[in-house]
Structure 1
Amino acid sequence: MLISLFRLSLFLMIVMVFAWGVSYLASDENKIIGSTIIEISGFEYSISPMQLLIILVLIILAAWIFLRLISLFLAILRFINGDETAVSRYFDRNRERKGFRALSEGMMALASGEGSIALSKAKRAEKYLKKPSLTNLLAAQAAEIAGEAKHAEEIYKELILDPTTRFVGVRGIMKKRLSEGDTDTALKLAKKAFSLKPKHEETQDVLISLQTLDSDWRGARKTLSAKLKYGNLPRDIHKRRDAVLALSEAAEIIETDKRIDAQVMAIEANRLSPDLVPAAVLVAKEYLADDKKKNAIKVIKKAWESQPHPDLAAIYSEIYEGESPEDREKGFKLLAKMNPKHVETKTMMAEMYLQAEDFPNARRSLGDSYEIMPNVRTLTLIAAIEKGEGADDSVIRKWLTKALSAPRGPQWVCENCSTAHSVWRPTCFNCNALDTLTWMDVPETKAEVALGNERAPFVLDVLNSNDGKADQLDLDVEEDLTEFENSKNDNDGSKS
């Protein structure tokens, strides 16, 4: 506001000074500049200061007009000679307007899914603009939508020849190879695209996915580090996924001559993510193989504190194999203290007491888990406890029958596509997503027939005891299983 007012005041002052100067020169009071006398051919001309000023202005104006006429004359000569002029620039701007209009219309057609129209607009834009770097990408995408795959690939190959559009061409062919299922070629193209633009997040994700599919764990770790470096991945997620990849590499070479390297990678994976159950299990197994029981116990306790898991309980049981019942109970109680309220802790202690045939403590440890979270494992455990305490066969059969129709319990489930896996994997075998398997309950779609023997080995020792009733119990369970399967098949058939 003040600046605008200052500028206005300054302009008015300049106008006033100029007007005063002109009026002063024109007045009789002018004593600074007198009259000018010009003599031409013996004639003298007296010119006042005002007249002299006007003459000077007219001379300057005439000189400017003369120079402009000379420029026009030179422009006409250049036009005749074939050089660029305002006339040619006018036609160029007209073609440019038509080209950009066709380009925008082609992009709109591409967005609305009209491939053939977008392709024709791209050709029209190229005709007027003569800029393949602008029009070829539109033409390639339009050709893909229109179903002209070969034409699209030819355009992408043309883009590769130009250094400024090389990445776009490589990426286009890479995505085409991915859609065709040619992962080997797509992997090579992804590496090339990554070398051209290492900061491109989509290329990083595609490359990591293809590297894990190819079991190139070391290469995937390098790409993951680049993703962290360029700010496309939070540090905590990087640590977790780096641990998953390190574990995968360790598991792959654990049976080779490079066992020491595998141990180092497994320990690194456990260090990066102590709650990664498969890493803790692998490290504990390696420590146990080297007779380092204290180290194995430390690793399992750390993992159990954040994520109790049956595999951890199984390897922990191996540590105390051959120990006295008292020492075994003491060791398991120390592990249970790490996460005492978790249902996995309760089932672990129940299994431990079942092995020792201490059925009252097994029931006390299991608590009401079989009622709150009924699944194959907990229901089979209560059946084994009932059998160990001498319950009637009908009671045991009741629990086992419930176990036949109960959910299997927690499994490794992909958070991305909800696919259940029997064992942990670094990537989902259905959607190939990295580090998406979580130990969780999954809705059952089909009756489970397994009695949880892979999770409760001590239960089978009780159920398969040689007391004369076991054979009849097994027969009854098999009959119940057959009857249950038949009823489920009938229900499925009626639904169909």
Structure 2
Amino acid sequence: MIRILFFVLLVLCLALGFAWLADRPGELSLIWQGQLIEMSLMRAASILISLFAAVLIVVWLLRTIWLSPHTVTRYFRSRKRDRGYQALSTGLIAAGAGDANLARKMAARTRNLISSDQEPLIHLLEAQTALIEGKYDDARKKFEAMADDPETRELGLRGLYLEAKRLGANEAARQYAERASEKAPHLPWATLATLDHRSQARQWDEAIRLLDQSRAAHVLEKNEADRKKAVLLTARAMERLDADPKSARDDAQAALKLDDRLVPAALVAAKALFREENLRKGASILERMWKLDPHPDIARLYVRARGGDSALDRLKRAKKLESLRSNNAVALATVAEAALDARELALARTKAEAAARLEPRESIFLLLADIEEADTGDEGRIRHWMAQALKSPRDPAWTADGVTSPVWLPVSPVSGRLDAFEWKAPPSQIAAATEDGHLNPDQAIRSLPPVATVPRPVEEPAPERTVEAAPTAERDQTERERVERERAGPEKAISVPDRKEPAASPAKGKDAEEAPDPFFGRPPDDPGVREPAAAERTTTNFRLF
């Protein structure tokens, strides 16, 4: 474009010059070797310009004739190079597509057309061809040659790293990644691989230093770098918690500044503060994290923050957590557990049932089974809750690469990846009872009158009595219910609806007929185990007709 503009400008200048001379006519006289030469000024200018153009043309012709051998050689060399690059491009595409035959053919053609010293990508094509053909030793030799060349060092180290990972040689892979990160700290794969290896070796200080270098080189994004550094600080704080609680507290608080939703960092910071007897500040950290993410580990640590608290004190702290995050299944389950420890069984049952309605989980139904055992001791109802626990989804757990851990870990034990654990529900082992694969809590819990508590009196020896065997299973169940009512007494007797009583006992009163059913208005799935000892102490006569 610049040349065209220059040519147009030159022509314009010549035209303006000739126009200027035409407007100002004149005569030019020249005496040369005794001869007088006279001509007009316009003719003299035209002759001068023509002579200059002729000289340029002659020079161009001479230069072209002189340089013609070199021009011809350069033409054929360029044509050969173009054919070589075309073969190289075709070979790389074939290697990426998995066509080993075409890749090998193009690699040989490229070798004949282009020198490997001029184009290092020929080594890459040959290495990829060897990998496709399964010649891993040849591919490794090619990658080693590339690693020795400063121009292809990073490419060769990456190939060696991938081969070492494929063979399971983690130590060799670590060395290749460290070499690459030292020579080129801007490579993300080398930085992340070295970071994972140092994390596996629990070299937290070195890992943090490497992460700071990669962040300064803009290898990682700001959010990702902050998250990984928070995880590393939390891991170092967990390691220092027993020996140096103060340093652990500082690292955990620094991690919370980088990521305020990192639950393990809040737990470590709170534990360190509790060991320093700073209960108020540790509790405030847990409360702030609880508002963001109601985690069961936070609730467990918050409720048992003080070792000398009684069960009622722990119940008060659990209720405070519920007030901070109401209508939450984790908060309700926490209150239910604390109420069970405090022997406030009615409150425990109410909160556990509410938690089961919000989020039916395995642990909640197991908690209901514990409450049932402490409240009524009925084996049938306990087995009912156990069955619901088997049908319900599993509780969330720290999961990474298909494995679960009871506690959070900074590195995956399977892949060695940093920050791999997530709080999520593992895959269910047993399908739910409903068609859509989810447990319907209304089928497990009915909103009916509360369960009456059945006291357990002290058993006294009784004289031997004869028991007539019931001919059917229904009579066995009726006998068991009669035994329970006789043991409970007339004031605590419980009536079961939709069951036919053989005969009314004179000891039963009006209160016994209006008492609510202990199993939400319907019989349990499993009536329980018959107590032979109680049956032997009771004489029951059945009227068959």
TM-score, normalisation: structure 2 = 0.69
Summarize deviations over 1:309-363 as a string: whole Å, max 9, x none: 3322332343244334554333332233222222111011111111110111212
Question: Residue 437 of structure 1 is aligned with which of 421, 424, 429?
Answer: 421
Supply the distance in 2 between the matched residues of 1:355 and 1:135 (Cα, whole angstroms).
73
What is the match of residue 359 of structure 2? 373
What is the match of residue 359 of structure 1? 345
Supply the distance in 1 between the matched residues of 2:458 and 2:217 (Cα, whole angstroms).
67
What is the match of residue 308 of structure 1? 294
In structure 2, the CA distance between the partners of 1:467 and 1:90, relative to structure 1 (3 Å rule), is farther
1:104 aligns with 2:89: yes
Give the number of equivalent residue pairs: 434
Supply the distance in 1 between the matched residues of 2:274 and 2:206 (Cα, whole angstroms).
30
In structure 2, the CA distance between the partners of 1:184 and 1:55, relative to structure 1 (3 Å rule), is same
Distance apart, 1:267 and its partner CA:
4.1
Question: Residue 280 of structure 1 is aligned with which of 266, 270, 273?
Answer: 266
What is the match of residue 95 of structure 1? 80
Q: Which AA in structure 2 matches 1:95? A: K
Distance apart, 1:162 and its partner CA:
2.4
Structure 2 residue matching 1:423: 3-state secondary structure: coil
Supply the distance in 2 between the matched residues of 1:219 and 1:447 (Cα, whole angstroms).
46
Question: Residue 124 of structure 1 is aligned with which of 109, 117, 120?
Answer: 109
Conserved 8 A contact 1:36-1:46: yes
Q: Which AA in structure 1 matches 2:365? A: L
Question: Residue 397 of structure 1 is aligned with which of 369, 379, 383?
Answer: 383
What is the match of residue 179 of structure 1? 166
Summarize deviations over 1:386-437 as a string: whole Å, max 9, x none: 33332643222211232234333121234xx554433322233344443242
Supply the distance in 2 between the matched residues of 1:221 and 1:467 (Cα, whole angstroms).
65
Question: Residue 399 of structure 2 is aligned with which of 413, 432, 435?
Answer: 413
Q: How does 1:88-487 map to 2 (within 5 A)?
A: 88-130=73-115, 131-254=118-241, 261-390=247-376, 392-414=378-400, 417=401, 419-445=403-429
Supply the distance in 2 between the matched residues of 1:20 and 1:268 (Cα, whole angstroms).
83
Distance apart, 1:196 and its partner CA:
2.0
Q: Which has the higher helix share?
A: 1
Structure 2 residue matching 1:412: 3-state secondary structure: strand
Conserved 8 A contact 1:242-1:269: yes
Q: Which AA in structure 2 matches 1:148? A: K
Supply the distance in 2 between the matched residues of 1:260 and 1:466 (Cα, whole angstroms).
54
Q: Give the number of the structure whose alpha-carbon radius of gyration is greater.
A: 2
What is the match of residue 461 of structure 1? none
What is the match of residue 442 of structure 2? none
Q: Which AA in structure 2 matches 1:298? A: S
Structure 1 residue matching 2:211: 3-state secondary structure: helix
Supply the distance in 2 between the matched residues of 1:274 and 1:53 (Cα, whole angstroms).
86
Supply the distance in 2 between the matched residues of 1:467 and 1:270 (Cα, whole angstroms).
56
Structure 1 residue matching 2:422: 3-state secondary structure: strand
Unaligned runs of 5+ in 1: 80-84, 449-464, 469-475, 481-496
Supply the distance in 1 between the matched residues of 2:344 and 2:325 (Cα, whole angstroms).
22
Q: How does 1:38-77 map to 2 (within 5 A)?
A: 38-39=32-33, 52=44, 56-57=48-49, 59-60=51-52, 63-64=55-56, 67-68=59-60, 71=63, 75=67
Distance apart, 1:201 and its partner CA:
2.2
Supply the distance in 1 between the matched residues of 2:61 and 2:305 (Cα, whole angstroms).
103
In structure 2, the CA distance between the partners of 1:151 and 1:214, relative to structure 1 (3 Å rule), is same
In structure 2, the CA distance between the partners of 1:330 and 1:258, relative to structure 1 (3 Å rule), is closer
Q: CA RMSD in A?
A: 3.8
What is the match of residue 494 of structure 2? none
Q: Which AA in structure 1 matches 2:164? A: R
What is the match of residue 18 of structure 1? 18
Unaligned runs of 5+ in 2: 433-455, 460-524, 530-545
What is the match of residue 485 of structure 1? none
Summarize deviations over 1:206-259 as a string: whole Å, max 9, x none: 22233323333333323333343334444344333222112222333545x556
Supply the distance in 2 between the matched residues of 1:386 and 1:19 (Cα, whole angstroms).
116
Structure 2 residue matching 1:428: 3-state secondary structure: coil
Supply the distance in 2 between the matched residues of 1:325 and 1:240 (Cα, whole angstroms).
38
Q: Which AA in structure 2 matches 1:213? A: Q
Supply the distance in 2 between the matched residues of 1:69 and 1:421 (Cα, whole angstroms).
85
What is the match of residue 33 of structure 1? 27
Supply the distance in 1 between the matched residues of 2:411 and 2:86 (Cα, whole angstroms).
47
In structure 2, the CA distance between the partners of 1:331 and 1:253, relative to structure 1 (3 Å rule), is closer
In structure 2, the CA distance between the partners of 1:330 and 1:123, relative to structure 1 (3 Å rule), is same
Q: Which AA in structure 2 matches 1:221? A: I
Supply the distance in 2 between the matched residues of 1:67 and 1:363 (Cα, whole angstroms).
108
What is the match of residue 491 of structure 1? none
Structure 1 residue matching 2:324: 3-state secondary structure: coil
Q: Which AA in structure 2 matches 1:224? A: L
| Identical pairs, percent | 26
In structure 2, the CA distance between the partners of 1:411 and 1:17, relative to structure 1 (3 Å rule), is same
In structure 2, the CA distance between the partners of 1:56 and 1:271, relative to structure 1 (3 Å rule), is closer
Distance apart, 1:440 and its partner CA:
2.6
